[in-house]
């Protein structure tokens, strides 16, 4: 499958969630969620990481840009759903390693996964607070030693992508950055209700709940202009 460039950010135009899952089953690498914010603001280093790996459509902005380029069947797969789909599909045959969240959150995440997915093999996990270089080094060494098939890192972007890139130089696996997905999964953070998600209005729901996000989301005006002017 050929990639599509959106302002220098390369993305795979998957037609379905099933197609994406089949792809990652045969292609190790870092899954990077692509949305309007990444297309607009990804640094040169971040673009390089994305373009070496597996950028997938996570937001409505990226989906609209793909459709504008002729990929009418391009689908949107939210990262906060994708990681659970990966576990659902592969938990009986692959091993997993989880990093991220507060100590309480990662413990609750692991416990809930073991309850929800019988037989899941989680070979290691830890919270996302790597305060010293030694913490980072110990984590990487542990992952290299245990050789998990799938590594989920929930630390926010670009921190999680930089860590996954570093680990991938020593251990090849399926990697996915999850942002705050562990918090959503364990109920510490509420995701937008289904209606908002289905109508591509999740960003608006989050803005209503967290008005301070306006500084991050004002860029959507610029992105909408680029779409209308076909500059993406």
d(CA 122, CA 118): 11
Range with the poorest average pLDDT among 32-46, 77-91, 159-173: 32-46
Mean pLDDT of 98-107: 98
- 1 pLDDT band (50/70/90 cuts)? confident
Rounded to whole angstroms, the Cα distance separating 35 from 40 reads 9
In angstroms, the CA 88 to CA 156 distance is 23
Residue 232 has pLDDT above 90, yes or no: no
Residue in the structure block whose two tokens are 């245990």: 146
Q: Model-level pTM?
A: 0.89
Q: Is 24 exposed, middle or buried (0-12, 13-18, 19+ CB in 10 A)?
A: buried
pLDDT above 90: percentage of residues in the chain: 75
pLDDT at residue 224 tops 90: no
Residues 6+ apart with CB under 8 A from 33: 56, 58, 59, 78, 79, 82, 177, 179
Does residue 212 register a pLDDT over 70?
no
Task: Say what the pLDDT of residue 216 is.
Answer: 65
What domains can you pick out in the chain, each with its CATH number?
Answer: 1-77+217-232 (no CATH), 79-191 (3.40.50.2300)
Q: Which two tokens stand for residue 75?
A: 């689908």
Averaged over 188-202, what is the pLDDT?
72
């Amino acid at each position: 499958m050929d990639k599509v460039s959106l302002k220098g950010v390369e993305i795979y135009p998957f037609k379905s969630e099933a197609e994406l899952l089949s792809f990652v089953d045969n292609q190790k690498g870092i899954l990077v969620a692509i949305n309007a914010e990444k297309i607009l603001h990804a640094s040169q280093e971040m673009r390089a990481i994305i373009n070496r790996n597996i950028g997938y459509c996570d937001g409505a902005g990226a989906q609209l840009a793909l459709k504008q380029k002729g990929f009418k069947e391009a689908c949107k797969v939210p990262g906060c759903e994708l990681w659970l789909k990966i576990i659902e599909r592969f938990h009986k045959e692959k091993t997993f390693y989880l990093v991220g969240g507060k100590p309480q959150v990662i413990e609750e995440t692991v416990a809930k996964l073991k309850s929800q997915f019988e037989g899941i093999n989680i070979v290691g996990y830890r919270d996302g607070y790597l305060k010293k270089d030694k913490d980072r080094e110990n984590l990487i060494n542990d992952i290299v030693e245990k050789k998990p098939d799938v590594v989920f890192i929930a630390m926010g972007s670009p921190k999680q992508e930089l860590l996954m890139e570093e680990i991938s130089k020593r251990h090849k696996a399926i990697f996915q950055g999850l942002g705050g997905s562990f918090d959503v999964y364990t109920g510490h953070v509420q995701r937008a209700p289904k209606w908002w998600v289905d109508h591509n209005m999740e960003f608006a729901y989050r803005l209503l709940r967290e008005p301070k996000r306006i500084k991050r989301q004002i860029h959507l005006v610029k992105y909408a202009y680029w779409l209308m002017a076909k500059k993406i």
